[in-house]
Amino acid sequence: MPPLITTLTLNPTIDLASEAKAVQPIRKVRTFNERQDPGGGGVNVSRVVRELGGETLAMILAGGVTGRFLEELLDEADVPRRSIPIAGRTRISQTVLDQTSQFEYRFVPEGPTITEAEWMAALEAIGEVEGGWFVASGSLPAGAPQDFYARAATIAARRGIRFVLDTSGDALRMALEAGGVELVKPSLGEFESLIGRELRDPALLEQAAVDLARSGRVARVAVTLGRDGALLATAEGTLRLPALDVVVRGAVGAGDSFLASMTLALARGQSTEDAFAWGVAAGAAAVSSAGTAHPRRTEVEALRQRIHQVPAGPVPKGEQ
């Protein structure tokens, strides 16, 4: 049986993406090349895992007519899902690319407030997951306690599930304090906030990441650095990979694509370094595609071959 990667998205979204000749105040801005994607951290991870040939289950909190639309989009994408109903309406985010300036404008609402019964139902659902890897990704909605991911990590550890986390702020800090995390993927800004100081000096960044990995709270730390590539830290040391040179068409979901590809490679038994390279390749493929988290498998594989610092490991038999 191929490894199952279950994801959890407490605050999913419907991502509307479009382009405009120019974004101007007051005037009516006409958009074109519209697309709708099911979005939110864990949802994006499941979609990319599916695209890369992995097995996944997307657990989502969904409510209202927009929640039903989100479910419809996931079904159209052939992503297996489990919905936890909520009273509030699922949020809608919008991204507009200004063709004149090439600036991308992203409008992201807070989303619904969830009740204790609703977030408790999500924790109970984690307790029903049977093995494999579990990715908790995205911001906490209003109403969820800041230690939610810490509780989730504890449940996963109790059930022998590999726990992966991508969030920020107190939710990240408290989950790491609980320990037992296999992989955490902050951006540079999120990592600086966690550590409590600026880490623009590469040596300081590397030392802080290694110190976290050696603390025993998390096995692997992958810090995404945008145009500067990414940094991997384990208790054994660090590895840096530069960003791949691709034509940028959108950045929404690039970090989720990175996380999906790296987690899938780890679940398939590939080395940490090889999995990290697969993450970098998927992130680059995502930014070269329009919409939210749309790396194509063939492009990810081609980009992986361009990373010569890390030898490409074999794809486990039956998953080619």
Catalytic residues: 256
3-state secondary structure string across the chain: CCCEEEEEECCCEEEEEEEECCCCCCCCCCCEEEEEEEECHHHHHHHHHHHCCCEEEEEEEECHHHHHHHHHHHHHCCCCEEEEECCCCCEEEEEEEECCCCCEEEECCCCCCCCHHHHHHHHHHHCCCCCCEEEEECCCCCCCCCCHHHHHHHHHHHCCCEEEEECCHHHHHHHHHHCCEEEECCEHHHHHHHHCCCCCCHHHHHHHHHHHHHCCCEEEEEEECHHHCEEEEECCEEEEECCCCCCCCCCCCHHHHHHHHHHHHHHCCCCHHHHHHHHHHHHHHHHCCCCCCCCCHHHHHHHHCCCCCCCCCCCCCCCC
